[in-house]
Structure 1
């Protein structure tokens, strides 16, 4: 029968540094990358939308495209936080493409 109390050897194994080839560590890093990138791009798109909307000379379609792209990037950050990194990356690509399209309207 297994001893329910942890032995000293088991506690020492927990203090070892993470294995760089560990798939769980790679997944964790991908999640945080998706969350961080999505948040930064969402803030940048929101700032661009506000600047285009208050600038007056730019068409409203440019501001709307930046706002939609920012919303997609925020959605990508949420997907990344939930572990859906592949969907998050493709949503980030879509959001940046929408913002780039909005830049063409300018």
Structure 2
């Protein structure tokens, strides 16, 4: 007996499971941010704001949707950077308001 418990043998991480979780996270986050950006774009479109504001939200939503698609297929690091770029575009649109 080496004195090890069963809990130490259960700490082995399956790389395929980690990749699957990363893909689901990237796809879910991208879809959520795309829906939020689209909703914000539609809400800003009905108000009296410059045309640049809803366009920035729509652009950010499109980039986040692309990140969701890309992340679901595998390159999660690129999807993360696209999520950051899309969120930044939406934040800039909010600054023009």
TM over 0.5, shorter chain: yes
What do residues 7-58 of structure 1 show as CA deviations (whole Å, max 9, x unaligned)? xxxxxxxxxxx97611111100000000000000000000000001111x11
Structure 1, unaligned stretches of length 5 or more?
1-17
Shift in CA distance, 78/95, structure 1 to aligned 2, threshold 3 Å: same
Matching residue of 1:99: 90
Structure 1 runs of 4+ with >6 Å offset: none
Which structure's CA Rg is the greater one? 1
Q: Quick one: distance in 2 between partners of 1:94 and 1:53?
A: 22
What count of residue pairs does the alignment treat as equivalent? 88
Instruction: Normalising by structure 1, report the TM-score.
Output: 0.80
Matching residue of 1:78: 69
Matching residue of 1:89: 80
